[in-house]
Chain A
Amino acid sequence: KAGVTQTPRYLIKTRGQQVTLSCSPISGHRSVSWYQQTPGQGLQFLFEYFSETQRNKGNFPGRFSGRQFSNSRSEMNVSTLELGDSALYLCASSSRTKGTQYFGPGTRLLVL
């Protein structure tokens, strides 16, 4: 089975712009979670989708949003980018809502 894929792998944006990141889970997995990793805050949970429903959201402002499609692919969107949004964004898929998570390679976002 192919692993979790994320596109794009690298992205440079300027403050005030918006960005959309994409995640394709392992075939058959219906749970997709998103995480932000920064040197200062570490790995932080953003949100999780299961069968197109957002089941939970971490402590992030409303500028961070996401969605999941019927084929389980997920996108996350960050509007009005700030310098502090520079981070590695990781998505993980799982076959169940509680169980082994498989991570993608991540998208490195740099906001200038």
Chain B
Amino acid sequence: GQNIDQPTEMTATEGAIVQINCTYQTSGFNGLFWYQQHAGEAPTFLSYNVLDGLEEKGRFSSFLSRSKGYSYLLLKELQMKDSASYLCAVRKGNTDKLIFGTGTRLQVFP
């Protein structure tokens, strides 16, 4: 079966660094995605990992360890606009179907 776990909520201070973890168990693995979703809006693509290691994109970085079924999204120099839900999604092997976690709601305070 498929199972994706993320913390439900996190809080952080403007300018700080926050790490959002995601663990997964799937019957096959073909890549992991992170999306940002502001309340009432559509998810927007942040990052993609299919090989182990760190992918950096400006203030956001994403890490993957396939052997551990683990990923994290690292947000640096937090801004108020980063307050949103962050969705971890795993693509099943040999398909392009995405299995989404419930998302982590991040609140950034001044």
Say if A and B assemble together: no
